[in-house]
Structure 1
C-alpha cells in the first residue's frame, strides 16, 4: 500500500511512541530523511510525495530495529562531533558530546603551543572522533591513533578519507595493554578516552549501550581503572619533557585517576567538569 511522506512520518511516530522511544517524531523524521536522502525541510515542502513500497518496507525494518534499542546513530550511519560528520556503525562507540570537552581542551592547548609540529597519540581510536578532530583543527599536528579493534580502524580510515586527512594521521591496530607501539618520536600529547566502565556495571547501562555498543570499548576491568593505571605508567616513557597526558573519565573517577597520575609523577593535575558539573577530564603534565 502506497504512503505519502506525511503518512509515513505519522506511521513511524505512532510506532516509536508506542514503544517508548524518547524522541519518536524526530527519529521518524531522521529515518525518512536517511532513506529518501533528503534534509528535514524537504519533508515539510513535499508532504504528499508518494513513497514506494521498497522504502516503506525498509522504514518498517529500521523502526523495528530501533524499537529493540538499536542505536539511531547506527541506523543513520552518522554522528556529528566537533562540527564534523562521522560515519559510525557496529564495532565503534557512538561519539558523545561529553568527549568534546576533552577534544576542545587539547585544541586550545595546542593553539597556544609554539612548537613547529605536535606529535599526538590517541589511545582508543573508535570512529576516529578525537583523532580526526585534532587533525582537522590543529594545523601542525601529526596523530598516531591506536586501537585493538580492526573494525574500529576500518571505520576510522573511512572517516579519514572522507575528511582528506590522510597525511596527518596514522592508525595502528594494537592492544595497548601489551605495550605502546614502536614509534621513534616522542609524543607531546597523549590522549585517551579508554574503556572505563567497571565490568559488573555494563549490563545495567541503557540498552543502546549494553546490548549494541562494543563491550571491548566499555570494559575497564573490575574497578574501571585498568587502562588508566597501565597507560599512565607507560606514558612517562613516551612523552617529551613538557608532555601532557589527557583522559576522559567516568563521572566518579576524577580523584582516582588524579591519584594514579600523581603516583606516577605527573604535575599540575587538573580535573575538568562537563556541562552537568560532573568530573569528565583529567589532565597531567610531565613538568
Structure 2
C-alpha cells in the first residue's frame, strides 16, 4: 500500500508530540524530506503525493530514532552552521548557533590583523576552522582533535567544501603535536568541553544520551581544558597572537583569571545573540606562571 505525504506527516506529528518534543513539526518535515529526498516546500504543497513503501519504511525508522530522542541532526547526518551544511554523525558534537558568535568574532580578528596561520583546537566536525577558511581565502588552518571519529568527520567536511589545499586535520592531544613539532600560530580558536561534571545529568536527553561525553564534560569545575589550553598556547602562539575561546555563560570571570595567570593581555568577552557571555579573546603576552 502506498503512503501519502499528509498521512505520513500526521503519523509523525502524533508520535513526536506525545514524546513532548517541542520541535516535532519541523523535525517530522525534515525527516520526511530526507526519506523522500524532497524539500520542505515540496512537502507543503504536495500533500497527496504518494511515496514508495521503501521511502515510507525509511521515514518510520527515522521517526522511531527521533522518538528515542536521537538528535535530528544525527539522523539527517547534516547540520547548518554559518550558512554551510556540515556532515555530522554520532560521536561528534553537533555545532551550535551560539558558536557562530565565536566564528564571527574570529573572522573580524583575522581580517583586522591579516592572520593567515590558524589552529582550530578540539575541532569536532571542523565547523569553526572550515567556516573561517570558507569566508577568508588567504588562511591556512590546522584542525586538530584526539577523537578518531571527529578526525574522520572533519576530513569529510574538508572534501565537502573543497578546502584540501588550505585545511589539514591532525590528531593531537590538545596542542601536543604542535609543541613537539615546534609549530607556531597567529591564532588559536577553540570550543572546548566546558560543562561541569555535576551538571552532565541535567542536560537534555538528546544531548546527554547521544552526544559524546568527552566533547561536553570539562571536569569537576568545567575549567580543566581552559587551564591546559592557556598553558600550552603560550608555547604555540606567536607573541601577540590571539587565543579565542567559547565559554559557558557563567565562566567569564574564571576563564579570564586563568588567562591572566598565564600572562595573557587584552582579555575581552563578547555576548551571544541571547545576551549571554560566550566568547573570550586574549593576546599572548609570553609570560608563564607555573
> Is the shorter-chain TM-score for this pair beyond 0.5, marking a shared fold?
yes
**Aligned residues of 1:180 and 1:234 also touching (Cα < 8 A):** no
Task: Please report the RMSD computed on the Cα atoms of aligned residues, expressed in angstroms.
Answer: 1.4
Partner of 1:263: 261
Query: Which region of structure 1 is more displaced relative to structure 2, 46-55 or 227-236?
Result: 46-55
Distance 2:167 2:233 in 1: 20
Superposed displacement of residue 152, structure 1? 0.5
Distance 1:230 1:30 in 2: 40
Superposed displacement of residue 286, structure 1? 2.1
Distance 1:15 1:22 in 2: 12
Moved over 2 A (4+): 177-185
Change (3 A) 1:185 1:179: closer
Superposed displacement of residue 177, structure 1? 7.1
Distance 1:250 1:58 in 2: 38
Distance 2:10 2:74 in 1: 22
Deviations 1:12-43 (A, max 9, x none): 11111122111222111101111111111111
Aligned residues between the structures: 285
Deviations 1:154-203 (A, max 9, x none): 01111110100001111111222756454444210011100111122112
Distance 2:240 2:5 in 1: 58
Residue of 120, 142, 145 corresponding to 1:144: 142
Q: Which runs of 5+ in 1 are unaligned?
A: none
Residue of 222, 234, 237 corresponding to 2:235: 237
Distance 2:279 2:93 in 1: 18
Show the 5 A alignment for 1:1-287. Answer: 1-114=1-114, 118-176=116-174, 180-287=178-285
TM-score normalised according to structure 1 size: 0.95
Distance 2:238 2:20 in 1: 51
TM-score normalised according to structure 2 size: 0.94
Partner SS state of residue 209, structure 2: helix
Superposed displacement of residue 120, structure 1? 0.6
Q: Which runs of 5+ in 2 are unaligned?
A: 286-290
